[in-house]
Amino acid sequence: MTSYSAPLDDYRFLINDVIGLEQVTALPGCGEMNAEMVEAILSEAGRFGSEVLAPLNQSGDREGSSLENGIVRTPKGFKEAYKLYAEGGWTAMTGAPEFGGQSLPWLVTAPINEMMNAANMAFYLCPGLTQGAVELLEAHGSAEQQETYIARLLSGEWCATMNLTEPQAGSDLGSIRTRAVKEDKHYRISGQKIFITYGEHDFTDNIIHLVLARTPDAPEGTRGISLFIVPKFMINDDGSLGGRNDLRCVSLEHKLGIHASPTAVMSYGDDGGAIGYLVGEENRGLEFMFTMMNNARLLVGSQGVAMSELATQRARAYARERVQGRAAGSKDAVSILNHADVRRMLMSMMAQTDAVRLLLLYTSAQLDVASKHPDENIAAQHQQRVDLLTPVVKAWSTDIGIESASTGIQVHGGMGYIEETGAAQILRDARIATIYEGTNGIQANDLLGRKIVRDEGRALSDLLAEIRADAKKRNDPRLSQGCDALNEAADWIVKNYADNADAVTAGAVHLLRLVGIVTGGWLMGRSATAAKAKLDSADGDQVYLNRKIVNAAFFSENYLPEASLLLEKIKGAGQIVGDTQIDFFE
């Protein structure tokens, strides 16, 4: 099965009636955006995903990308799909208008990212990363760098990559050894980078690598990292391509999933040093790269939502069609949808997909206000909310993506274990998303240390105050109890972190899930309230609106009660972990 149907009803309802498109259209530069325009854009994106990308998903997984004599070839149809993607203007949906960008709000870009990822995650890794590179260059590139690169990235003529880690470094970027030696107006880059998504491919004539490296006199650790633009081909003064730079793909990784996406080992400087151009100032590279990394973390969050949605669609369709067994009180064989446990599994997938999609859209709208609001204080408040929720979007959504993909296999039964159904590919593809762009454990530690301990829980307290007010208004005791548990957890963390950081961080992943469940439960409640209001006014599809109400009730009944247990885990996990000696694992 290769089908994918974009959930346009969901986007229409959630953006207009739950999140509120009006808060975005009121921002400078967004005045022309309206509900009709948003629907037209999302409908066309959904059509492209369903008709162009989805049919290549399973064939691309089977064929994979290949490396021959230094040349990477992507699966059949991928290069042509990228050409259509660029011609359709999708490469330009982000980015400033002066460079040819459409500057779409993130509230509109996020669902496009989800749809493209659901249709073909392995394909979309390439243009998705280019989005982040454009944002980085707009924020930190020189005027000359912006003029040279951004327009060509937005047109789709060129693509961009992110070169962070190395064989000995992993996630510890302070350990990178790639060197950058100044030479006239450029630097000579030498070293090896691993896990470079689309580090080499056949989509475009040039690839712009954004590379972290260390100058000879740089301080140790992350404070000594600088950021460089290293093009695959040099660029002449008239904008044409010159000679090949001193870099090459030496191998492609053999992976569990996303086979169509070439994950490259890149070597720089085998013949004297690749030419690179410093972005901003020396020793501020990691700071600048975080612009791209945070963009990528929200993109990866959309992958989690996408995989959950895709798995849910496949499982629902199979459950309607598969006839097996007899329901209670029936003498005839029935579709497995008639079995209560199958309905339970499907409802868990549907409810959790709703929750993570709402969190993604809510955070995207907050980002729009943070980046465009003219009042600096209001913008700063919304940016604080974005900073708090970004690790949750990345980690909780991708955890749910894996859970839904695994449950989807279970719904398929034995056929789910067979590659031809496509259910197994979803799980294999989804599995990477909890690892890259900072593992989910790293996201949890970021949430705990940088977003809660550092400001003594103030940003979280502001969010909880808003959630509590809604819970009281809706008379929602489960959500109120979830707020109590999260508040107690945050207080305990802030109080104990300085004296026993190891014990506190042992519960970081439980904290992140707790934030996700409480925030998701809040947004699901808002969704149910909006759906009831539309039902009362006889406005909209009754079947769809009732589904939103049931999904919210299912989430409240099945996931909000976890809050008290997660609180116990947060407080208790560290004691056992801290008391366990290293030789226990030998």
The per-residue pLDDT for range 38-85, each reduced to its tens digit, is 999 999 999 999 999 999 999 999 999 999 988 999 999 999 999 999
Contact 189, 275 (CB under 8 A): yes
d(CA 34, CA 314): 32
What pLDDT does 2 receive? 52
Contact 434, 475 (CB under 8 A): no
488 is catalytic: no
Alpha-carbon radius of gyration of the chain: 24
Phi and psi, residue 41, nearest 5°: -65, -50
Of 353, 351, 347, 339, the closest CA to residue 316 belongs to 347
Phi and psi, residue 227, nearest 5°: -120, 135
Of 116, 91, 93, the closest CA to residue 33 belongs to 93
Give the start-to-end residue ranges of the domains of the chain. Answer: 159-283, 440-579
Token reading at 354: 């709703």
DSSP string, 92-140: GSSS-GGGT-----HHHHHHHHHHHHHHHHHHHHHHHHHHHHHHHHHHH
What pLDDT does 578 receive? 77
pTM: 0.97
d(CA 300, CA 544): 27
Residues 492-521, mean pLDDT to the nearest whole number: 96
Per-residue pLDDT at 405 exceeds 80: yes
Residue 3 pLDDT grade (very low, low, confident, very high; cuts 50, 70, 90): confident
Q: Answer yes or no: CATH 3.30.450.90 is held by domain 159-283.
A: no
Q: Read off the pLDDT of residues 238-259 as tens digits, 9 standing for 90 and up.
A: 999 999 999 999 999 999 999 9
Selected catalytic residue, list 114, 135, 200, 437: 437
Per-residue pLDDT at 290 exceeds 80: yes
Residue 266 pairs in a beta bridge with 193, 249
Phi and psi, residue 25, nearest 5°: -65, -20
- DSSP conformation class of 65: -
Contact 153, 133 (CB under 8 A): yes
Strands 241-244 and 263-268: unpaired
Q: Read off the pLDDT of residues 160-200 as tens digits, 9 standing for 90 and up.
A: 999 999 999 988 899 999 999 999 999 999 999 999 999 99
Contacts of 359 (CB under 8 A, 6+ apart): 301, 389, 392, 393, 396, 397, 516, 519, 520, 523
d(CA 333, CA 199): 52
Residues 210-218, mean pLDDT to the nearest whole number: 97
Per-residue pLDDT at 110 exceeds 80: yes
Contact 445, 508 (CB under 8 A): yes
Residue 100 pLDDT grade (very low, low, confident, very high; cuts 50, 70, 90): very high
Per-residue pLDDT at 573 exceeds 90: no
d(CA 453, CA 42): 39
What pLDDT does 504 receive? 94
Residue 574 pLDDT grade (very low, low, confident, very high; cuts 50, 70, 90): confident
Residue 576 pLDDT grade (very low, low, confident, very high; cuts 50, 70, 90): confident
Per-residue pLDDT at 575 exceeds 90: no
d(CA 427, CA 307): 8
Residue 66 pairs in a beta bridge with 73
What pLDDT does 478 receive? 97
Q: Read off the pLDDT of residues 136-168 as tens digits, 9 standing for 90 and up.
A: 999 999 999 999 999 999 999 999 999 999 999
Task: State the alpha helices, DSSP H only, in 335-457.
Answer: 340-372, 376-412, 423-431, 440-448
Per-residue pLDDT at 1 exceeds 70: no
Q: Which one has a higher pLDDT value, 568 or 332? A: 568
- What is the percentage of the chain residues whose pLDDT exceeds 90? 93
What pLDDT does 569 receive? 95
Amino acid letter, 169: A
Mean pLDDT (the chain) is 96
